[in-house]
Amino acid sequence: MIIFGDSRLTIEDVAVVARQQQSVALSQAPEFRRRIAAGVEFLDRLLAEEGVIYGVTTGYGDSCTVSIPAALVEELPRHLYTFHGCGLGENLSAELGRAVLAARLVSLCQGYSGVREVLLQQLARLLQEDIIPVIPSEGSVGASGDLTPLSYVAAVLCGERQVYDKGRIRPTMEVFQERGITPLTLRPKEGLAIMNGTAVMTGIACMAYQRAAYLTRLATRITAMVSLVTNGNANHFDETLFQVKPHPGQQQIAEWLRHDLHTGETPRNSKRLQDRYSLRCAPHVIGVLADTLPWARQLIENELNSANDNPIIDGEGEHVLHGGHFYGGHIALVMDTLKNTVANIADLLDRQMALMMDTRFNNGLPANLSGAAPERAAINHGLKAVQIGTSAWTAEALKQTMPASVFSRSTECHNQDKVSMGTIAARDCLRVLQLTEQVAAASLIACAQGLDLRLARAELSEQQIGVQLLDTVRQVREVTAFITEDRALEQELRVLIDQIQQQRWSLYVNWH
């Protein structure tokens, strides 16, 4: 069980909550509950003394100079989430919605947002009962945080708008009535606390990180298979060679390749002293992503475990601190960087695919890896169209790598005059991941086809291929059979893409 409020959470904690692999609960520790109550009590005292608090007794953003009459203070939070109900674009999936709820909950549990424990309990209950706000993906510039998308979380807590319930989109109030959930009426500061933060970009970043990390392992496995399919030179991954350029991630990729290819154990003859770059330099390409991940984790997890709304309410020290912690610059940088390094994986696999398809480079295999009998070869085209699709997906992934974080816009009467664009960067990263996973699925089909052709022609033995790679071929073959006669491969590709995204296969998990 993931406990919110006891300790720092990790990317993996958010991912297992998002995928419904672990349940959640709110901390019952006395220290946590005391810290939450202190912020609320301090705000109540300030209000009783008619203190000026941004977003509580004033308008929002550039309207901070507008004083709110005492009789209207209680209505202000509802107006905040109501006028921000203008999100557009595709809705975030239920999985991403869970990641957003988890990210917002862990931030509010820091105890510096001035929200009641009952609000935290309501957020936790949404996760516990899988009632997930339907959140449009577009409308945030990443400062003041994810205002528009997070307005959908605030509205749902109050029984408004729509939720995912058992795979269906339904009115929130209907679901609350069925489950016996009482809608909240937000108190002063609570609307701002929910909405004025980086939870959407951070939740997406956690899920994007998980997918990118898996792609480092999958791309390495595919590279090992391509090396065998094309009769490549495994000495390119020599341990001594990689000791002289000691990037840890790059060294790890080379180590995995040596393990998969049984370097030094099973003799194989390569016709080339040096393979083309997409094989020879594969550890250097995948290694850039591998070496980016520890740095990315630090920035994502720091953002995840921060109080990132405004103002910060220090109930114990009795301070209201006005700042800009809603600015999502760190997440924007991570997402812009990840989408670049992931797109390079797509490009690498696309080049490897080209080598396998072309009789000039695949060392004696049929064109397009067709498995057709000689008398029917003229009308069969193997993986020709799949390679064209791979090129298209790769080109689109590369096109998406323009950094979003440098496209700041001044908005909201020039109050929000420098913004992070973190949520747009995160959405871009998801698109690049999707396209790269499509390339990986196509590569798996091609690799399985190529290895089966080598086995059928007795040009490789099962011993030379090895247990790990044969197991990957077996898993691919559970979805897609050897291609003898041309057939439409769309549905098989879709199943493989889903398996990649669900991380169904164990890759290098228990080996270091």
For residue 314, list its beta bridge partners.
319
C-alpha distances out from residue 26 to 1, 7, 36, 118, Å: 10, 11, 12, 10
* Whole-angstrom distance, CA of residue 424 vs CA of residue 404: 6
Q: Where are the alpha helices (DSSP H) in 316-383?
A: 329-357
Burial class (CB in 10 A: 0-12, 13-18, 19+), 88: exposed
How is residue 286 written in tokens?
């995948």
Strand, coil or helix: 413: coil
Q: Read out DSSP for 58-75?
A: B-SGGGGGSBPPGGGGGG
Q: Where are the alpha helices (DSSP H) in 49-159?
A: 76-83, 94-108, 117-128, 147-157
H or E segment to which residue 26 belongs: strand 24-26
What's at 359, amino acid-wise?
T
CA angle 59, 132, 506 (to 5 degrees): 125
- DSSP 8-class letter at 457: T
Catalytic residues: 54
Q: State the residue for tokens 């250097």.
A: 284
* Whole-angstrom distance, CA of residue 256 vs CA of residue 325: 40
* Whole-angstrom distance, CA of residue 158 vs CA of residue 160: 6
How is residue 114 written in tokens?
């001035």
* Whole-angstrom distance, CA of residue 328 vs CA of residue 426: 11
* Whole-angstrom distance, CA of residue 164 vs CA of residue 101: 13
Q: Where are the alpha helices (DSSP H) in 230-314?
A: 239-243, 248-261, 277-280, 282-304
